[in-house]
Amino acid sequence: MLSDLGPFETPGNDLIPREGLRHDLFRHRTVIALLDAACLPGLPERLESREIPAVSLFQGDLTQKLRDVAPYLVQMDTDGALMRDFVNDSDVPWAMWPKRPGILILAELDLPALQKHFRRLLRVRTDGGTFFFRFWEQASALAYFDALADSEDRGRWFYPREGGQIGALLVPDVRADGLRVFSAGGPRPDTRPWESRPFTLHPPELAALRDTRIQENIQQMIALMLRTFPDRASSLPAGQLEKRVRRSVSRAAEFGIRQRGNAFRLAAWDLHSDDVFEAVDPGKELRRILHAEMLEEDKMRLLAERLAQLGPAND
User: Same structural domain for residues 100 and 184?
Assistant: yes
User: Same structural domain for residues 99 and 61?
Assistant: yes
What is the arithmetic mean of pLDDT over 52-77?
A: 93
**Cα 124 from chain centroid (whole Å):** 16
Containing structural domain, residue 18:
6-200
* Residue 175 pLDDT > 60: yes
Residue-wise pLDDT for 75-128, tens only, equals: 999 889 999 999 999 999 999 999 999 999 999 899 999 999 999 999 999 888
Q: What is the DSSP letter of 189?
A: P
User: Same structural domain for residues 215 and 148?
Assistant: no
* Residue 188 pLDDT > 80: yes
Least Cα distance to 57 among 48, 47, 66, 45 occurs for 66
User: Same structural domain for residues 229 and 169?
Assistant: no
Reduce the DSSP state of residue 75 to 3 states and report it: strand
* Residue 292 pLDDT > 70: yes
Contact 270, 262 (CB under 8 A): no
Task: Give me the number of domains the chain comprises.
Answer: 2
pLDDT: is 105 or 8 the higher one? 105
Distance, CA of 20 to CA of 87 (rounded, Å): 9
Averaged confidence pLDDT in the chain: 90
In a domain, 10, yes or no: yes
In a domain, 196, yes or no: yes
Count of helix runs (H) and strand runs (E) in the chain: 13, 9
Cα three-residue angle 44-33-77, rounded to 5 degrees: 90
In a domain, 1, yes or no: no
Distance, CA of 207 to CA of 209 (rounded, Å): 5
User: Same structural domain for residues 190 and 67?
Assistant: yes
Residue-wise pLDDT for 230-265, tens only, equals: 999 999 987 899 999 999 999 999 999 999 999 999
User: Same structural domain for residues 88 and 217?
Assistant: no
Least Cα distance to 107 among 143, 76, 153 occurs for 76
- Which pLDDT score, from 0 to 100, does residue 312 have? 61
Distance, CA of 227 to CA of 98 (rounded, Å): 19
The strand pair at 166-173 and 178-183 is best described as: antiparallel
